[in-house]
Structure 1
Amino acid sequence: MKIVILAGGSGTRFWPRSVKERPKQFLSLTSHETMLQQTYRRYVRWLPEAEVYVVTAERYRSLTREQLPELPEERLILEPEQRDTGPCIAMTAYRFLAEGDDEVLVTMPSDHYTDEPEELIRALRKAESAAARKHTIVTLGVVPTRPETGYGYIRTSDIQSEEGLLEASSFIEKPNLGAAEELIQDPNVYWNSGIFVWKPSTIAHYMSLHQPFMWSMLTASDRSEASAYSLLPKISIDYAILEKADSIVTIPVKFKWDDVGIWTSLERIQKADSEGNIVNGQGEVHLEQTKDCIVYTDHQKTMILGVSDLIVVSTENGLLVCHKSEEQRIKTALQALNDKKEDTSE
């Protein structure tokens, strides 16, 4: 089995710490190591280093080499440009198949957190044998502990095989709070971990079936990879394959897991002070009558007085002041800000 770590995302919900030049997978968010370093080193403690790969965008080649100097060039797969997880995983599968390698792959994000790696590895071992079957996709479904609106969900059958597998019946996009509260009451619903176990030939089968244009462009012999890649749609692997595939099974898991997708996810990982505040960064911070806030500052002296439930982040890239209830809007608000800047410059 090979581990393929996907490290090409932009992490816009962690703005202004995470920016295009250094997105969140290259930041130290949950420990002294960056998210990418933590993920890579988690798996090389378990598998031979030769079985662990990193996929990232060409623009992050130097960052990846800087943070993982032990990773040889042949195990660094570079996307010509960022086109989301659909093209990224398709390109990776094609690379392995072109080398005559159809060994089971685990494709997983670089920015997830778990403090129970042994349980994760045990689940992946179970997934490996199932994924070796023809055209079978295996997912890890995390037993939900709260009505999370920032995650996707998987609905499964209630009949478990002897191997502990459940047939996945549908994928549910990020719900609103009311829908999430209903979903977690269903014992056959799990969080979608974004961790998938499959063979390159399985990916090729579903790509040729459901994304024929994408697959034909990647495999065309008369085009360079870069020119073909630029024509591919920006589409997630969920939309490209998973919501259409007919042979998906889920392994339920209960270990502590978080996708560290938004600022408030740090509250589930880091210890707060007596007033519920989490303070990070190099800046000097003074709090008075302030409760349940997340504060990050780079070098600046910062005073926060008489507020609660705020996210306050100050870096050289910008300033964010956001009520926790609004943080899911950071991504769209940042896009609007960037669009406005482009319109002004024109």
Structure 2
Amino acid sequence: MMNNNYYCIIMAGGMGRRFWPYSRKQLPKQFLDFFGTGETLLRITFDRCKGLVPSGNIYITTYIDYKDIVKSILPEIEDRQIIIEEERRNTAPALAYASYLIQKVNPDATIVVMPSDQLILNIDKFRTSILKGLDFASSSGKLVNVGIKPTRPETGYGYIQIDEEEREGDFCKVKTFIEKPSLEFAKVFVEGNEFYWNSGIFIWHVTTIMNAFHENMAEVCPRLECDAPDFSACPNISIDYSIMEKADNVYVQMCDFGWADVGTWQSLYDASPKDTNSNVILNSNSILYDCSENIIHMPKGKLVVAEGLQGYLVAEHDNVLLICKKDDQNSIRKFVNDVEMKFGDEYV
């Protein structure tokens, strides 16, 4: 029987610009079927959460323009479960408002927060781990950051260093956070036992997180703890920078359940099956000659014929074809910004 005091917040308000041109401003990645399964990333995440908490305790935070999209993907949820951001201000203001609303409904709530764009391979281990985290956070007064044991020297993820001397079972106090290290440091991190990938999944009792917001973001709390929140008056800041890296009661839950962040084309490449030349072909027909380590994503019914490509992204969607090196994710943001400045919203 599920615990009625357990809640879930799914974050689904981003524009997904790092997945352009497939992800667009009007229909970003969380509302797309990336794996050709017939289900969107949001639907997959919601169904994953149904095994953790009652369906009525799952809330979706999203940008105001996406409310109808969320309702079409999740027709079973009520309007009260969709938390609207009228202005994009990153994850901290959205989670502060969502936590406030949940506290009003249930002051005994313990919440797991998760992005809508992650791949979990072992659902049973995931649910066992998250339930253990909910149990721990419900009574400990700790803010929990789910950490994943690294399997490779990944430079695209953030890392968390744990303090083994302050350990409670699978939970260790955070020593420090490290953002997207160089390959040299990532190799050191993966060889040691004290570094974990920052999954972006958080677990906390609603009182614990609200106290953290009042301590670290006191100036914005009055703007959000009301029936008509003023997101425009809030800073554009993530929950990582605003709370997790400042609070002194943050613990890492050390987990291993087959996790991948599907936040970039490179991470999608890493998480996808590959052919004998390490190419990833998604929903596409292709004939490749002397090509390796590429990712190709085309509309159904189109054929790609390529020769001599190594380490490229070839992606077409609607009115845009993008061809670039797949491992330079910062360039895609630049491409989108440049396109928007030159052509307006037509191609973004």
TM-score, reference length from structure 2:
0.90
> For residues 162 and 302 of structure 1, do their structure 2 counterparts lie closer, same or farther at Cα, with a shift above 3 Å needed?
closer
Q: Secondary structure at the match of 1:338?
A: helix
Runs of 4+ in 1 over 4 A off after TM superposition: none
Residue 9 (structure 2) pairs with residue 4 (structure 1):
yes
Equivalent of residue 267 in structure 2, options 250, 265, 275: 265
Aligned to 1:325: 327
Q: How far has the Cα of 1:100 moved from its partner?
A: 4.5
Distance 1:333-1:182 versus aligned 2 partners, 3 A rule: farther
- Work out the CA distance in 1 between the residues paired with 2:207 and 2:334: 36
2:100 aligned counterpart, secondary structure: helix
Distance in 2 between residues matched to 1:110 and 1:30, nearest whole Å: 14
The aligned residue for residue 105 of structure 1 is 111
Deviation of 1:22 (Å): 1.0
Specify every segment of 5 or more residues in structure 1 that has no aligned partner in the other structure, as ranges.
none
- Deviation string, structure 1 residues 6-48 (Cα, Å, up to 9, x no partner): 1111211111001111111111113411111111011214432
Matched, 1:37 2:37: no
The answer as to 2:30 corresponding to 1:25 is: yes
Q: Is the 8 A contact 1:112 1:257 kept in 2?
A: yes
- 2:332 & 2:286 partners in 1: Cα distance? 23
* Aligned twin of 1:70: 76
Change (3 A) 1:98 1:51: closer
The answer on whether the counterparts of 1:96 and 1:102 sit within 8 Å (CA) in structure 2 is no
Q: Once the 2 structures are TM-superposed, how far is the Cα of residue 56 of structure 1 from its aligned partner?
A: 1.2
Contact 1:204 1:215 in 2 (8 A): no
% identical equivalent positions:
32
The one of 9, 16, 20 equivalent to 2:21 is: 16
- Match for 1:86: what amino acid? A
Deviation (angstroms), 1:49: 1.4
Query: Which structure 2 segments of 5+ residues have no match?
Result: 1-5
Aligned-pair distance for 1:251? Answer: 1.2
Residues 56 and 77 in structure 2, CA contact (< 8 A), matched pair in contact too: no
In structure 2, what is the Cα distance between the partners aligned to 1:31 and 1:251?
32
Change over 3 Å in CA distance of 1:100–1:128 after alignment to 2? closer
Using the TM superposition, name which of 264-273 and 248-257 deviates more.
264-273
Alignment check: 8 A CA contact 2:266 2:327 kept: no
- 1:140 corresponds to: 146
Match of 2:219, SS?
Answer: helix
1:4 partner letter: I
User: What is the DSSP-based 3-state SS (H/G/I as helix, E as strand, rest coil) of the residue aligned with 1:295?
Assistant: strand
Whole-angstrom CA distance in 1 between matches of 2:288 and 2:276:
12
Greater CA deviation, 130-139 or 21-30? Answer: 130-139
- Aligned-partner SS, 1:202: helix
User: Is contact 1:114-1:256 (8 Å) kept?
Assistant: yes
Q: 1: distance between equivalents of 2:52 and 2:218?
A: 36
- SS of residue matched to 1:64: helix
Check conservation: 1:135, 1:205, Cα contact below 8 A: no
CA separation in 1, counterparts of 2:43 and 2:138? Answer: 28
- Give the Cα separation in 1 of the matches to 2:180 and 2:209: 24
- Aligned match of 2:277 in 275, 278, 287? 275
Q: Which residue of 1 aligns with 2:3?
A: none
Q: Distance in 2 between matches of 1:220 and 1:269?
A: 41
Deviations 1:291-312 (A, max 9, x none): 2211111254432122221110
Letter of the aligned partner of 2:321 in structure 1?
A: L
Cα deviation code 1:55-112 (max 9, x no counterpart) = 2111111111111112222222222222110111001011122335331000110111
**Higher mean C-alpha deviation, range 42-51 or range 108-117:** 42-51
Moved more, 204-213 or 92-101: 92-101
2:296 corresponds to which residue?
295
Residue 119 (structure 1) shift: 1.1
Report the equivalent of 2:310.
308
How far apart are 1:196 and its partner, in Å? Answer: 0.6
TM-aligned CA deviation for residue 211 of structure 1: 1.0
Q: How many residues align?
A: 338
